[in-house]
Structure 1
Amino acid sequence: MSEFNARGVEYLVVGAYALAAHGRVRATGDLDVWVRPDAANAKRVMAALTAFGAPLQDADEDDFSRPGLVFQIGIAPLRIDILTSIDAVAVGRAQDLADLEWLEGSAKKPE
């Protein structure tokens, strides 16, 4: 996440790690990360993944600019899934942004 942060990638941690941040712990074999699927963000995602050392031989910027991608790095339980679509969350809602700010420590916990 530090490479994403350094390059200004628009992302959200979703899945089990997001639930754990809200006190709902469940077992998982991966870290799920949603990235905004647009051209500008895709460029930042590729730069961050390159700096991280991710194996990118099967990926390019276009992949990260379209909804529906699941890009996996590593093997469970140390796997990272980068997603350009998620079904259960309306990304961009004010509450989602409030939750994100709370997780980053820049806002009070949302009600």
Structure 2
Amino acid sequence: MSVTEERGRITARVSTPIAEKLQEAADLTGATLNQFLVQAALEKAQMILDREYVIRYTREDAAMLINLLDVPPAPNEALLKAFGRHKNKAKNDVLDKTVGNGPSGK
């Protein structure tokens, strides 16, 4: 028993010179026009996705990041305040649950 993959359909209308150029390129690669168009579109899509989602950095940037991971700087005043707020909130959440004021303490 074979499982058939659901397929979408993409159509495009182009001028005759464009269609002829695309067909010629497909012929030169030994692909059908449909195969050629899908492959070309996938390559372009991957380039765009890589540009948007892949972070590229230099060797110097990489060395700096590794150094920061190995020897992190001391926390600054803003970070210390944030730790304090988090600690107080966590403590209050525990008290609320213990006393029955929280959502799970009912």
Instruction: Give the alignment's TM-score, normalised by structure 2.
Output: 0.22
- Give the structure with the larger helix fraction: 2
Give the greater-gyration-radius structure (CA): 2
Higher relative contact order (CA 8 A, sep 6+): 1
